[in-house]
Chains A and B, each alone.
Chain A
Amino acid sequence: MPNVTVRGPVAPHTAEALDPVFTVAGLSVFYGEYEAVREVDLTIGNREITAMIGPSGCGKSTVLRCFNRMNDLIPGARAAGKIMYHGEDLYGAHVDPIEVRRRIGMVFQKPNPFPKSIYDNIAYGPRVNGMKGKMDDLVEEALTQAALWDEVKDKLKQNALSLSGGQQQRLCIARAIAVKPEVILMDEPCSALDPIATTKIEDLMQELSRDYTIVIVTHNMQQAARVSNRTAFFTADVDERGERHGRLVEFDETSRIFTNPTDKRTEDYITGRFG
């Protein structure tokens, strides 16, 4: 029964508008024997912001972590189905996860600057990737793009941990930008931040979506409504053994998801009746 709602509404009004970066088909993610996410089909559009929303434990972060193969790091994690990145299978045998992560950056829930100077935080990615060019310029460019340059330009040698939480998160965004990725994945990037810092990050996302494809996981529906072009709504089904399996319920333009959802569960969620 749910399969119909998963596959049905996706195609019609997205196919023509989407210039796909990722095409996800029948993606299931397992942790050992446990199937955390079941049969997800999704398309991520180029230079768009795609939001993934849904209640806790619905697998949205799990799906996000497949896009840069961060799930590989969890022992026993396995992905079935296909994620095509510009037509290339992300989980293909010849694909190097290191190279994947260089092109597909990630920003985490809790700001995680390295215990080094602000400068070295930004320079780290380019250095490990052996990028050429003047490092000072690279650092300035990344910090400027992340709207942090003016706040930190006089203290680049200071430890990054001395920055405020919001600044740290923008530093992490700058750090991701510095390796010149095509896609930036954001896993609840504002959940540890205050409202003012959140607004800054949201403005920054809008700014960045001109150059980058952004996928954001968020608990905050208003945030998804404010920033994203398209929204994917996930929920968890409980099977007969009491195990929760995340699945995609509906994927559509954000305006449509929030004003005229096709699925009853989406409507219930966005109107605050559950989750």
Chain B
Amino acid sequence: MAVLSTPRSAVQLASKGQPLREHLFRIALIASLAIAFVFLLALLSYVLIEGWPRLDSRLWENMPSVRNPDIAGAQSAITGTLWVISITALLTLPTGIAAAIYLEEYADRDRWWNRVIELNIQNLAAIPSIVYGILGLGIIARTFGLGFSVITASITLGLLVLPIVIIASREAIRAVPPSIREGSLALGATQWQTISRQVLPASIPGIATGSILALSRAIGEAAPLLMLGAVSFIRFNPDGVFASYTVLPIQIFNWISQSREGFHILASAAIVILLVILLLMNSAAIWLRNRYQKRW
């Protein structure tokens, strides 16, 4: 009876006090997050404040100028970026998705060549972008004779992000449960019908998300394009895939290298434009992911 009369729940469930370790661990996690966040915020506010005086219509209405930072703009770089990235998307997405379909749905993993391909796609994704620049210069610009043009830049950037597109698409395709494929095949559908009517539609959101993120990376690339003749004083918009071109990262790089203060402000303003394009693309990726998220 004595046992029963003690307030048992109070005795057994009372908090022992969270150990110090728990607190420290949590603080470390928050601190890590804070470091990333604070630096991003500092960067954003810096370019915004610095570039604010020139963040107006002159930036996208005027062409670059070497003489006068007040009338210089980045129109040719903005259109150049849009040209290059659109052609990159047109070239990379079908190829990347097709490669992913092959690897996920058709490739027999017992064959050594399929394993070699798989391994090398992972490796390709890790190759520095400047190496792709050298490849583009040597093979696409010179051997294929495509010169310093939009198409050379697009093919090179396309090769650069292709492994990322393939890897992202494979993950999206693999996320479609095997039971969906079985259900389709059991109804007398062919393998291609099953892929095109069930697997692909179900994995499109994941593929789109991964592809947009891959293209965002391509937009920000300057290094390979430095080797591919993205000259920064192009005073006209590209009029086709064989035209000369420049892109925003190159234009920014060039302005920052100038000695006059006015060009530095211009560079910050152009960075804001580039960041806005990137943020829009990433938001589209997040929106797509949430909109079409599947719960099986």
Contact = CB atoms under 8 A, between A and B. Distances in A.
B27 interface: no
Interface string B190-209: 10010001100010000000
B187 A175 contact: yes
A101 B177 CA distance: 20
With a 10 A CB-CB cut-off, give which of B185, B187, B202 has the most chain A CB atoms.
Answer: B187
Given A128-B190, A128-B193, A114 B185 contact: no
Contacts of B198: 114
A73 B185 contact: yes
A112 B187 contact: no
B189 interface: yes
A221 interface: no
A114 B185 CA distance: 12
A175 B179 CA distance: 14
Nearest to B292: A115
Contact of B180 (A101, A102, A112): A112
Contacts of B127: none
Contact of A108 (B179, B197, B295): B179
B187 A105 contact: yes
Contact of B186 (A75, A106, A113, A161): A106
Given A129-B188, A179-B188, A112 B197 contact: no
Nearest to B186: A106
B118 interface: no
A98 interface: yes
A125 interface: yes
Contact of A172 (B110, B183, B202): B183
B179 A112 contact: yes
Contacts of B180: 112, 114-115
B237 interface: no
A179 B187 contact: yes
B108 interface: yes
B202 A102 contact: no
Given A75-B110, A115-B294, A124 B182 contact: no
A129 B197 CA distance: 13
B197 A124 contact: yes
A124 B187 contact: yes
A125 B182 contact: no
Contact of A114 (B110, B183, B193, B295): B183
Interface in A108-130: 108, 110, 112-115, 124-125, 128-129
B110 A125 contact: no
A128 B189 CA distance: 6
Given A75-B108, A114-B198, A128-B193, A176 B179 contact: no
B282 interface: no
Given A73-B182, A75-B110, A124-B197, A112 B177 contact: yes
Contact of A102 (B110, B184, B188): B188
Contacts of A75: 108, 110
A94 B202 CA distance: 33
Contacts of A101: 185-188
Contacts of A70: 182, 185-186
Interface string A112-152: 11110000000011001100000000000000000000000
Contacts of B108: 75
A73 B191 CA distance: 10
Given A75-B108, A124-B197, A128-B193, A110 B179 contact: yes
Contact of A98 (B190, B294, B296): B190
Contacts of A228: none
A128 B187 contact: yes
A99 interface: yes
Contact of A125 (B177, B187, B190, B295): B187
Interface in A17-73: 68, 70, 73
Contacts of B183: 108, 112-114, 172, 175
B197 A105 contact: no
Contacts of A112: 177, 179-180, 182-183
Interface of A: 68, 70, 73, 75, 98-99, 101-103, 105-106, 108, 110, 112-115, 124-125, 128-129, 161, 172, 175-176, 179
5 contacts: A110-B179, A114-B183, A115-B202, A172-B183, A175-B187
Interface of B: 108, 110, 177, 179-180, 182-190, 193, 197-198, 202, 294-296
4 closest residue pairs by CB, A with B: A102-B188, A112-B179, A125-B187, A106-B186
